[in-house]
């Protein structure tokens, strides 16, 4: 079993939501945090708040779609703390829309999802994760680190209408743990560097809680526990996956028993 005390977590998308909640948990349990985000003011504000818990926080203004930024992020963790134990590439976005829009009367196509709308989500949610993981794993191997790569998939990976871009990126996160674990196994270090993914349902981040109450009500009709999943509950799962070294190569859903309807 791994211990969080003195361990180093690299967290992207760390200025809010699950990323920030994970940083708080890590620091409260004696860990150290490299916090990354593309939003400079939000990153600074989050870091100032986190340093009230512990001074063991460094920040990186990082665009995960830029290769050089991800390289510098991984190097920063090593230069600051000498190791990387948890990689949490949590930066992600949604940009919902239908592949094709049709007129109700004529049935003819009236609009299409722009390539830019599809590509931006893929760039951040998929390519950004690839780059973050690749650069951090390189440093972990070269500096003999032990730990976990923890990806974020989603119940959206099961296929949600209006989220072709997002669902595609999160479905990729569901298969990455198997692929990476197989690669690590071939190279002889799967016992030291593991990969897992968590797949949350509807999480009560500030963004979700600020949604229209009627929309939240419709969401909760599909959730047996009759409430949103709290960010701290997702973080608790991430922490357990980190500690438990028997967990490797899988995706664990945490969605309160969510049941998606036949129309996604």
In the chain, pLDDT over 70 holds for what percent of residues? 98
Q: d(Cα 260, Cα 155) in Å, to the nearest integer?
A: 9
> What's the token pair of residue 119?
């590509």
> Is residue 58 in some structural domain?
yes
> What's the token pair of residue 102?
């049709």
| 125 has a pLDDT exceeding 90 | yes
pLDDT for 205 equals 84
pLDDT for 26 equals 98
Provide the pLDDT confidence category of residue 132 given band limits of 50, 70 and 90: very high
> Is residue 20 in some structural domain?
yes
* Domains in the chain, number: 1
Least confident among 64-73, 102-111, 141-150, 207-216: 207-216
Which three-class secondary structure state does DSSP give residue 2?
coil
For position 110, which CATH number holds?
A: 3.40.50.720
**What are the tens digits of pLDDT across the range 157-211?**
888 889 999 999 999 999 999 999 999 999 999 999 999 999 999 998 877 777 7
Range of the domain at 125: 8-254
Taking a C-beta distance cutoff of 8 angstroms, is the pair 144, 137 a contact?
no
Which three-class secondary structure state does DSSP give residue 28?
helix
Q: Which of 25, 166, 202, 242 is catalytic?
A: 166
Q: d(Cα 20, Cα 83) in Å, to the nearest integer?
A: 20
Say how many C-beta atoms besides its own lie within 10 A of residue 53's C-beta: 15
- ∠ CA 97-215-206 to the nearest 5 degrees? 90
pLDDT for 200 equals 95
pLDDT for 260 equals 64
> Is residue 260 in some structural domain?
no
Nearest C-alpha neighbor of 233 from the set 193, 201, 190, 186: 201
Q: d(Cα 16, Cα 212) in Å, to the nearest integer?
A: 20
224 phi-psi bin (left φ>0, alpha ψ -120 to 50, beta other): alpha
| 263 has a pLDDT exceeding 70 | no
Report the mean per-residue pLDDT for the chain. 95
pTM, to two decimals = 0.94
Residue predicted with more confidence, 193 or 263: 193
pLDDT for 209 equals 79
> Is residue 1 in some structural domain?
no
In the chain, pLDDT over 90 holds for what percent of residues? 86
**What are the tens digits of pLDDT across the range 30-66?**
999 999 999 999 999 999 999 999 999 999 999 999 9
pLDDT for 99 equals 96
**What are the tens digits of pLDDT across the range 81-112?**
999 999 999 999 999 999 999 999 999 999 99
On the CB side of 77, CA atoms within 13 Å amount to 33
Least confident among 130-139, 158-167, 190-199, 236-245: 158-167
**What is the C-alpha radius of gyration for the chain, rounded to an integer number of angstroms?**
19
Taking a C-beta distance cutoff of 8 angstroms, is the pair 22, 9 a contact?
yes
Is position 242 annotated as part of the catalytic site? no
> Is residue 3 in some structural domain?
no
Q: Position of tokens 């009500």?
A: 217
| 261 has a pLDDT exceeding 70 | no
| 262 has a pLDDT exceeding 70 | no
Give 198's strand partners. Answer: 152, 252
Whole-number Cα distances in Å, 111 to 1, 97, 101, 121, 139: 53, 10, 5, 19, 45
Nearest C-alpha neighbor of 177 from the set 137, 210, 216: 137
| 259 has a pLDDT exceeding 80 | no
Nearest C-alpha neighbor of 36 from the set 104, 95, 90: 90
pLDDT for 127 equals 98
């Amino acid at each position: 079993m791994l211990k969080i005390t003195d361990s180093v977590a690299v967290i992207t998308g760390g200025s809010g939501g699950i990323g920030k909640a994970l940083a708080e948990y890590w620091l409260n349990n004696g860990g150290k945090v490299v916090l990354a985000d593309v939003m400079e003011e939000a990153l600074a504000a989050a870091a100032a708040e986190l340093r009230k818990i512990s001074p063991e926080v460094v920040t990186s203004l990082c665009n995960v779609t830029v290769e050089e930024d991800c390289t510098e992020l991984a190097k920063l963790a090593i230069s600051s703390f000498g190791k990387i134990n948890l990689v949490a590439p949590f930066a992600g976005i949604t940009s919902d829309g239908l592949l094709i829009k049709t007129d109700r009367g004529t049935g003819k196509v009236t609009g299409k999802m722009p390539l830019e709308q599809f590509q931006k989500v893929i760039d951040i949610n998929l390519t950004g994760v690839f780059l973050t993981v690749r650069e951090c794993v390189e440093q972990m191997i070269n500096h003999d680190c032990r730990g976990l790569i923890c990806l974020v998939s989603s119940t959206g990976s099961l296929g949600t209408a209006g989220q072709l871009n997002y669902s595609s990126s999160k479905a990729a996160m569901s298969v990455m743990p198997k692929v990476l674990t197989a690669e690590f196994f071939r190279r002889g270090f799967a016992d030291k560097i593991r990969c897992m993914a968590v797949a949350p349902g509807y999480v009560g981040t500030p963004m979700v809680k600020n949604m229209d109450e009627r929309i939240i009500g419709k969401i909760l009709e599909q959730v047996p526990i009759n409430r949103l999943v709290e960010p701290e509950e997702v973080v608790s799962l991430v922490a357990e996956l980190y500690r438990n070294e028997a967990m490797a190569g899988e995706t664990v859903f945490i969605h309160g028993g969510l049941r998606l309807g036949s129309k996604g």
